[in-house]
Amino acid sequence: MKKSLVYVIIFIFCSHFTFSQDLKPEYQKFVKSFISNVKSDNKEGVASCISFPLRRDYPIPTVENKADFMERYDQIFDTIFKNEIIKSNPAKDWSEMGWRGIMLGSGDIWIDTDGKIIAINYRSKAEQDLKSKLIAAEKLTLHPSIAYFQVPVYILETSKFRIRIDDIGKENYRYASWSINKSMSDKPDLVITKGLWIFDGSGGNSHLNFKKDSYLYQCSIIVLGTSESPPANLTIYQNGKEILSQDAKIITK
């Protein structure tokens, strides 16, 4: 749900621990091509630069493919964003951040070293308004006991559990879970608040810890892994001993 958020976090770590590298001429070439496509409003050309699926802030649906992107182009690339891109200097405003890729400014766009856009962190007013509308609508579908929150963070599904994580204010993260055959309109089987979100270095991986009595529920979000790594994982510990571990998928809509 938050691939884009992860790249914002990566930038924060990078700003503390590394210095951005000068953009190589071979990278400037595809950055210039992308800028040219945006300047001429060539939607087909911009779409060809994107690695799909392109995640948006939950509960805004992920951009699944080129056709989906073409329909939502104006929602994502508003005038402010296009002007930022058009006025950018490929040599000075775009920075190579090692293996993490290439970013515009403070991370509004991330491009991999093959020239494909892997994250767009800019949020147009249209997307912000849509997000607020979708969150308000989603709250009406949830069980009343969990219908209050500020920001939805993740919805995970394992083979046995459905898990919802929300920020209920001031980075107080709440864990709610159901058996997989239940709906989020049902009363949760378990609710834990005061969770902690911990970032595992600058690679983008993170985990959220939720403690209840002698149990620790750990939800890991895996961005940097192997080709066989799942998007997420749920591990439950009792008195420090692992009693359950299940791979999870991230639900994006």
Q: In this predicted model, what pLDDT tens digit does every residue of 112-153 receive, in sequence order? A: 999 999 889 899 999 999 999 999 999 999 999 999 999 999
The answer to whether residue 213 scores a pLDDT higher than 70 is yes
The pLDDT value given to residue 233: 98
Q: What is the DSSP letter of 48?
A: T
- Classify residue 169 by burial, with Cβ atoms within 10 Å: 0-12, 13-18, 19+: exposed
Please say whether the beta carbons of 232 and 247 come within 8 A: yes
The answer to whether residue 212 scores a pLDDT higher than 80 is yes
Per-residue model confidence as pLDDT tens digits over 227-238: 788 999 999 999
Name the one residue in this structure whose structure tokens are 């939607």.
43
Residue spans of the domains in the chain: they are 3-126, 141-250
The pLDDT value given to residue 11: 46
Name the one residue in this structure whose structure tokens are 């924060």.
12
H helix count then E strand count, the chain: 6, 12
pTM of the model: 0.76
Residues in Cβ contact with 250 at an 8 Å cutoff, skipping those fewer than 6 apart? 1, 154, 155, 156, 221, 231, 232
Amino acid at 234: L
Question: pLDDT-based confidence at 8, cuts 50/70/90?
Answer: very low
The pLDDT value given to residue 17: 40
Output phi, psi for 240, to 5 deg: 85, -5
Tell me the C-alpha to C-alpha distance, in Å, between residue 172 and each of 77, 163, 167, 196, 198.
32, 16, 6, 8, 13
Average pLDDT score, the chain: 90
The answer to whether residue 18 scores a pLDDT higher than 60 is no
